[in-house]
Structure 1
Amino acid sequence: MVSQTPGALARALLMAMLVATPALLIPFTHRGTAQIVLVLALLAAVFTAMEYNSRYPGMLEFRFAPPYNRLRFFTLGAILVALSIMLRGQVVPSAVSGSLNGAAARLADILDFPFSPVRLVVVLLPGEADAGLSGMLRRASALAYALSIGMVLVFVVFVRFLGWPTRSGPFNVWINLPLFDPTGGGDVLYRLRRDAVLNLVLGLLLPFAIPAIVRIAAAVIGPVSLADPQTLIWTVSAWAFLPASLLMRGIAMQRIAAMIEDKRRRSYAAAQSPVDEGRVLQGV
């Protein structure tokens, strides 16, 4: 337990910095917003420290199957930092913000086509929205979406070619899937594959569904103002990152189901081999 504490504290500090990144990089952050961000950063740090300082299952999945959570952390961090620097460049221009805006503009030219997720996000803005805000939302959503797709592709490489999750040792379903009850009824293999398909479908549909849900909610409770930099950053980040995380989870659960099926097949073969040998000897 003592050996886990430094790592848990380091992860907690990194998580707090991740949550506070937009507020730290965007100039002229409102005092009320800064206080809310501080509370959220502390809550994220406490949750992370409790999860990683325990040897028993909590709420965080694939805790002992790197680099699943590390890949998600660095991708979300990259999205938040990139979008924050892009929006900071509107007030404090720099070479880095100019380069990011240029790269995001090129990605937007590729990803912004009719009925694409990026096009649907831009449609969220009202018709009288400022052209500068519309262009920034277009570039930010394209960059965030590209980074999220890259996260999924990197994870596929780890699964297909680098032997995840067994490359770092034996995989324990109990501690890595704490929210999955293997005794909940039905075949574990079927339930894992069912959950994998559900996550994959949601991951593919949510980038299209979230803008529609936001438009419906805006008609009921009022429009969401994306003119505020903090709102724009977190809205675009959630829209791009959450579906990609569901895709990763679906791929991971499909991989675990395949591992269980392969282990069952080998166990059945090993159990039947002595009987077959006995039958052969009797025939001789």
Structure 2
Amino acid sequence: MSQSPQEGKFAVFSRLPAAFVRAVMVVILIVLPSALLATNASEGTQIIALVAIFAALFTIVEYSASSPSLVEFRDAPPFNRTRFSALFATVLCLSVIFRGYQSPSIITEFFQDSGSQIGRAIDFPFSPVRLMVLTMPADSDPRVVERLRDAAGLAYMIAMISIAWFVILLRLRHWPRRGGAFNVWVNLPTFDPTAGGDVVQRLQRDGRVNIILGFLLPFLVPAALKLISFFGTPIQLDDPHTLIWTVTAWAFLPASILMRGVALSRVASMIDIQRKMAYARAASDDYQPA
């Protein structure tokens, strides 16, 4: 049964409060480093404010509309909640660490010691953290290199924990259905089921590609940064804000892509199981006596 215009408007307005809460959380995430760290660049503050406004508007539109245009798994928690929690935790921890270099306290000292221990533990040959440290020029300030190692180690650890927690939640909650309906059109707005080929095979292929890409990106990104610094202008990580967002992107994006691959594989498995059950019911109905 199709939805009437009045029912559609009521559904949109009923989603607005939750969309506003999500928008506020996105704004807090974006302005968090600037709020905790001192900055003297007025232009940088204006850019951050502009980005926060656009991100808030995008979040409100995507989460209040009847169907999103870009955000995947909108109505299938905890996918986006886990990703946002990992991103927020990474930015918060790194911001607290660098605040300790400006205004030391017991809390900042705890985060600095934790990041330093994790960074040293993960900084072994051919590890993603070691590759990230090697992107720095040979004449870099040792303090900047040490801060990069600590930040990279802590961010990578948060990413790994978020992936493990996501997989555990999928098992415990029997995601993506959890006893209810799963709307592929709403939760996968960028996926076209009519593009050709079997839907299950396409989802399984996309899931495998995302898992492999998510695993390789922490190793490939440092190599790309090294090439950029060799052929062009290197990224200046002396600025704490640049270092925070660079390390956050390096750790979070691969984890997010890997979680997307796991989610797509689960959706493909769900569709395959439902298809087999439908075939079995159809076969049993054909063999029933009239």
Rounded Cα–Cα distance in structure 1 between residues aligned with 2:180 and 2:275:
19
Partner residue in 1 for 2:244? 233
1:136 pairs with one of 116, 135, 147 = 147
1:112 pairs with one of 123, 139, 142 = 123
1:53 Cα shift?
1.0
1:169 Cα shift?
2.5
Please tell me the root mean square deviation across aligned C-alpha atoms, in Å: 1.3
Map 1:69-80; keep pairs closer than 5 Å: 69-80=80-91
Distance 1:122-1:168 versus aligned 2 partners, 3 A rule:
farther
1:62 Cα shift?
0.3
Q: Is 1:22 the counterpart of 2:52 in the alignment?
A: no
Percent identity at matched positions? 43
Partner residue in 2 for 1:42? 53
Partner residue in 2 for 1:162? 173
Q: Is 1:203 the counterpart of 2:249 in the alignment?
A: no
1:168 Cα shift?
6.7
Rounded Cα–Cα distance in structure 2 between residues aligned with 1:82 and 1:54:
33
Q: Is 1:32 the counterpart of 2:43 in the alignment?
A: yes
Question: Which residue identity does 1:214 align to in structure 2?
Answer: L
Rounded Cα–Cα distance in structure 2 between residues aligned with 1:274 and 1:10:
49
Q: Is 1:53 the counterpart of 2:60 in the alignment?
A: no
Tell me the secondary structure at the aligned position of residue 157 of structure 1: helix
Rounded Cα–Cα distance in structure 2 between residues aligned with 1:28 and 1:76:
22
Partner residue in 2 for 1:259? 270
1:93 Cα shift?
0.5
Question: Which residue identity does 2:67 align to in structure 1?
Answer: Y
Rounded Cα–Cα distance in structure 2 between residues aligned with 1:109 and 1:128:
21
Rounded Cα–Cα distance in structure 1 between residues aligned with 2:161 and 2:178:
21
1:161 Cα shift?
2.6
- For structure 1, which segment, 101-110 or 62-71, has the greater mean C-alpha deviation from structure 2 after superposition? 101-110
2:230 pairs with one of 201, 219, 229 = 219
Question: Which residue identity does 2:257 align to in structure 1?
Answer: L
Q: Give the gaps of 5 or more residues in structure 1.
A: none
Rounded Cα–Cα distance in structure 1 between residues aligned with 2:62 and 2:94:
28
Rounded Cα–Cα distance in structure 2 between residues aligned with 1:190 and 1:211:
32
Question: Which residue identity does 1:129 align to in structure 2?
Answer: S
1:32 Cα shift?
1.5
1:28 Cα shift?
2.8
Tell me the secondary structure at the aligned position of residue 2 of structure 1: helix
Partner residue in 2 for 1:275? 286
Q: Is 1:66 the counterpart of 2:98 in the alignment?
A: no
Instruction: Give the paired residue count.
Output: 279
Residues 57 and 174, structure 1, Cα contact 8 Å, conserved in 2: no
1:29 Cα shift?
4.1
Structure 1: 4+ residue segments shifted above 2 A? 274-278
Tell me the secondary structure at the aligned position of residue 165 of structure 2: helix
- Per-residue CA distance 1:234-278 (angstroms, 9 max, x = gap): 000000000000000000000000001101111111111133444
1:191 Cα shift?
0.5
